[in-house]
Structure 1
Amino acid sequence: MQQIYPDLWQSLTERPFAEAPQVTTHAYLLTRPESNVLFYNSSYLLEDADQIESLGGVAYQLLSHRDEITPALADLRTHFGAKLGIHAREADEVRAVSPLDLAFESRETWLGGIEVIPTPGHSPGSTSFLYASPHGQRYLFTGDTIFASERGWETYLIRGSNREDLVNSLKLLRGLKPDVVISSAAVAPDGVREVTPAQWRKAVDAALEELSALA
């Protein structure tokens, strides 16, 4: 894994779609004295198992939405003993491949300072996570609700997406003040972007405009 901030590490780059090699995905390990938390999923994590163990292992793995559900979740749970969490709307899909420990339903704070923010639209159970690092930055993990691209920021309607829910979720995210936004997938080498409050509002406005154009 590559260290990108004092307490945040990025997994190896994965390109899950042969027909769209420009799309990349990563998982991110947040290291904390009380318990390490892994956001998202990657099929390459066991390749970094020794390094992850040296960083304190994985106590919890939090998924942002159903696209991150793969059979690898069971292997990660077995190896690290990590407890697994996803929104309750997509819990049954997780249980098909791995036991589930945490099912989110509403906006609340879990695991000692991680704010769980349901942001449905891209999928029914899409969830974002906000964490104020003691190193001074606020990390916002957005899953695929809004993601980085080479032309800035984008959102995406897939089959089963709910446009109205996605619009409302983006408006909710617009009101937050992250310093670093970290998407699950990206149309770029990675999904990590530092933003000012003005840049973030502009990014979300662009995504909302894109949705309006698709109507």
Structure 2
Amino acid sequence: MFPLPIDEKKLLGIYHCGYHSERSYGATSYLITHPEGNILVDSPRFTEILARNIERLGGVRYMFLTHKSSSPDVSYRDDVGDHEKWSNRLKCDRILHSGDVEISTANVEIQLHGKGTWFLGTDFVLIHTPGHTEGSVCLYHKSLKVLFTGDRLARSEQSLLEIYELYNRQSVSLQLRSVRKLLDIGFLWILPGHRRRIAFRDNQEKISAV
């Protein structure tokens, strides 16, 4: 049944890919369908049935990888997961910040350099948010006000926004500066790599959750 629409009324064209992989700590992958080209955000576990279902929705132009693994265990690849299998199957261009490029991702088609910001077409903004890893990047869908955060932000048990402090490869203070930068963006939805998605009524509710 995957990809499944997340909210057909409020988030038209955004899907949960399912097929979470143990190798990526169960990270969530999303599919964005868009007239300028579909985007696969991070890597689900590769399966042929999911690939066929994604093709029925128009295939994928870009595979955006939010970051590399923050684990020292090389058998875990966090949100990059089965990126090469997906790239070969869907013939899409992968995007990853150069600060997170390693041997397993050395052949990604598009490497982001520097501090950004970068743009995909007219509707998507890529924002450099180091702290979790050196090359962590968030994707902002302007028209729907959705922020895809990878491992930068999540919802705590108290419904507050929190960072993954225990899993940072860089300093907590650097990640906090990145979060402050994100708060200036007009997003009202957070679709994270882990834990539940977050919807805010307005900007004031978002600020109060920090």
Q: TM-score scaled to structure 2, two decimals?
A: 0.81
Shift of 1:151: 3.4
- Structure 2 spans left out of the alignment, 5+ residues: 70-78
Percent of paired sites with the same residue: 21
Q: Deviation digits for residues 120-150 of structure 1, max 9, x if unmatched?
A: 00111111111123xxx21111111111344
Asked if 1:33 is matched to 2:35, the reply is yes
Structure number with the higher helix fraction is 1
Asked if 1:180 is matched to 2:189, the reply is yes
- Structure 1 spans left out of the alignment, 5+ residues: 18-22, 206-215
- Number of residue pairs the alignment of both structures matches: 190
In structure 2, relative to structure 1, the CA distance for the partners of 1:37 and 1:45 (3 Å cut) is farther
Distance, in Å, in 2 between the alignment partners of 1:62 and 1:176 is 19
In structure 2, relative to structure 1, the CA distance for the partners of 1:24 and 1:193 (3 Å cut) is farther
CA contact (8 A) 1:13 1:25 kept: no
Name which of structure 1's ranges 121-130 and 36-45 shifts more when overlaid on structure 2.
Answer: 36-45
CA contact (8 A) 1:74 1:98 kept: no
Aligned to 1:199: 205
CA contact (8 A) 1:28 1:38 kept: yes
Decide which of 139, 143, 148 is 1:141's aligned counterpart. Answer: 148
Shift of 1:44: 4.6
Distance, in Å, in 2 between the alignment partners of 1:159 and 1:34 is 34
In structure 2, relative to structure 1, the CA distance for the partners of 1:37 and 1:15 (3 Å cut) is closer
Shift of 1:159: 5.0
Aligned to 1:107: 117
Shift of 1:185: 1.4
CA contact (8 A) 2:39 2:64 kept: yes
In structure 2, relative to structure 1, the CA distance for the partners of 1:131 and 1:120 (3 Å cut) is same
CA contact (8 A) 2:19 2:45 kept: no
Decide which of 124, 136, 140 is 2:134's aligned counterpart. Answer: 124
In structure 2, relative to structure 1, the CA distance for the partners of 1:97 and 1:125 (3 Å cut) is closer
